[in-house]
Amino acid sequence: MLNYRHLHCFWVVTKEGGFARAAERLDRAVNTTSAQVRELEKSLGHQLLKATGRGVALTEAGQAAFARADEIFQLGQCVADEVREAASGKVARLAVGLSDGISKLAAHALLAPVLATPNLRLVCHEGEFEQLLAELALHHLDLILAGQAAPRNPNLRSTLDHWCAACACSAAPTA
């Protein structure tokens, strides 16, 4: 199993360009920093860094590891940001159902303004139209994008019946 502390150490060494600067940033000894990177290399079975003058450079394997580590630690920062936003109560959530019959390009085009809205978390669920309607009725979804209008149902109240029909027509895939 991958040791994420070792991966983080490797990532910082790479970003800082050397063990001394990374050790300072991590508030560790240079020997400890170097040992953690060696342990990561050992567990992965490949050399990730090579010495170059006063710094280090990535090997081919190191480039692959660094690219993935960069993604991981950027995601880690997103987790912290999202938790902070959620705790502050300033994030709105929009749950959208995407019917199997609607093209992803059409859905993306319709949702583009939402994607640019700050403090709005877009959650998409893909599925069969009937199942999405059931989730909408249970208030698990706020909106459904589909290639068809919702069937008339006297048991479900909807002030958006006409809008939904127009939306379904305009969202239908165009060849």
Residue 168 has pLDDT above 80, yes or no: no
- Cβ(123)–Cβ(93) below 8 Å: yes
pLDDT tens for 30-89 read: 999 999 999 999 999 999 999 998 889 999 999 999 999 999 998 888 888 878 877 877
**pLDDT > 90: percent of the chain:** 45
Average pLDDT across the chain, whole number:
84
Global pTM exceeds 0.75: no
Domain extent listing, the chain:
4-86, 92-171
What single-letter DSSP state applies at residue 147?
A: S
Q: For the purposes of burial, counting CB atoms within 10 Å of the CB of 1, is it exposed (0-12), middle (13-18) or buried (19 or more)?
A: exposed
Report CA torsion sign: 79, 83, 85, 91.
positive
| Phi, psi (rounded to 5 degrees) for 113 | -60, -35
Q: For the purposes of burial, counting CB atoms within 10 Å of the CB of 167, is it exposed (0-12), middle (13-18) or buried (19 or more)?
A: middle
Residue 167 has pLDDT above 90, yes or no: no
Pick the CATH number of 4-86 from 3.40.50.1000, 3.10.180.10, 3.30.365.10, 1.10.10.10: 1.10.10.10
